[in-house]
Amino acid sequence: MSLILTGIFMHLLSPPNKLDVRFFYSVTEAQEFFHRLSIHEIRNYFFGELLDLFFILNYSALSFLLFQSYFSKKEKWVLFLPGFIDVVETGSILLTLKGHQISLFLLSLSTLAKWCSGVLVLVFLLYKVFQRRRIDA
């Protein structure tokens, strides 16, 4: 429930087409995005991104609790990979919103890496589920 509520509040506070929901964006697109934000939008986006940290913690913990049994001890860290990359991305956005000079190329790359790692974890999870079913059959 907290995941849903956090997501709703993040959506309400965030400007349209925010960077971290896109799959990829160029440095120029990121520059234009940040320059278009009003002071009010910057403040709201900042608080929305703080909520995103809580959202990340929630979805990382939930995915670990739900799916850890499919992974060996050596593989369980994979469940935290998208969340870790998401924290890097969100932290970079927060710093940028506070006026720090962050590499927008690395920010863009972290967004792409977050989505790709999420897909890879999902594919790996599906593989593990089907592997377990085959062994159990």
Task: Kindly report, residue by residue over 36-90, the tens digit of the pLDDT.
Answer: 999 999 999 999 999 999 999 999 999 999 888 888 889 899 999 999 999 999 9
CB count in 10 Å sphere of residue 96: 22
Q: Which residues contact 32 (CB under 8 A, 6 or more apart)?
A: none
Q: Which residues contact 29 (CB under 8 A, 6 or more apart)?
A: none
Global pTM exceeds 0.85: yes
Task: Kindly report, residue by residue over 109-121, the tens digit of the pLDDT.
Answer: 999 999 999 999 9
Domain regions of the chain by residue span: 2-136
Contact predicate 121/71, CB 8 Å: no
pLDDT for residue 131:
83
- Binned at pLDDT 50, 70 and 90, residue 136 comes out as low
